[in-house]
Amino acid sequence: MSKQQLFNEVYEKHKDRIYRLCFIMVYDRSQIEDLYQEVLINIWKGIDNFQEKSKIETWIYRIVMNASINFNLKQKKHRETTEYVNELKETTYPEKNEIDVLMEKISLLKSADRAIVGLYLEGYPYKEIAEILGMTTSNVGVKINRIKAELKLLWNNKI
């Protein structure tokens, strides 16, 4: 199988999931297209060297996480949380569903927490989240409980 064929296969299989993770990880949602492209370029660059020591999903989602961290850093006007909260307060959605509200709340979390919650929402078990992020399973468990509590608090406060 050629590199292009392999890449196309990976793309077709994981494109939606990569998009969703990018959506959660990116600071400035208007730049999601650029981040998505950067992730794909990194996958393309590394696909030749992919060794089947880990699952391809783990490998891909690590690239998504790292590319997002890198991408957010490169944005010159890095958004401070307070700035973001103010902006969210002013944003009005004509048809705001539960997912939109959840995404707003997730935007207020720290990078590491967004990465964890992103994978959790994808339905990954703690063990796999730990493997992708290089953390211990118990640490992931503790963090998820803490994030859930934080999100519930934010949800009830309804910024």
Site for other proteins contains 148 (CB under 8 A):
yes
CB 109, CB 147: distance < 8 Å: yes
Instruction: Say whether residue 11 binds other proteins (CB under 8 A).
Output: yes
Structure tokens at 139: 């640490």
Q: Which of 13, 41, 86, 159 binds other proteins (CB under 8 A)?
A: 41
Residues binding other proteins: number (CB under 8 A): 55
Toward other proteins, which CB reaches closer, 50 or 84?
50
The 3-state secondary structure of the chain reads CCHHHHHHHHHHHHHHHHHHHHHHHCCCHHHHHHHHHHHHHHHHHHHHHCCCCCCHHHHHHHHHHHHHHHHHHHCCCCCCHHHHHHHHHHCCCCCCCHHHHHHHHHHCCCHHHHHHHHHHHCCCCHHHHHHHHCCCHHHHHHHHHHHHHHHHHHHHHCC
Site for other proteins in 50-109 (CB under 8 A): 50, 59, 62-63, 65-67, 69-70, 73, 76, 78, 98-99, 102
In the range 114-133, which residues lie near other proteins by CB under 8 A? 115, 120-123, 132-133
Among 35, 36, 104, 126, binds other proteins (CB under 8 A): 36
Residues in contact with other proteins by the rule CB under 8 A: 4, 7-8, 11, 15-16, 18-20, 23, 33, 36-37, 40-42, 44-46, 49-50, 59, 62-63, 65-67, 69-70, 73, 76, 78, 98-99, 102, 110-113, 115, 120-123, 132-135, 139, 142, 148, 151-152, 155-156
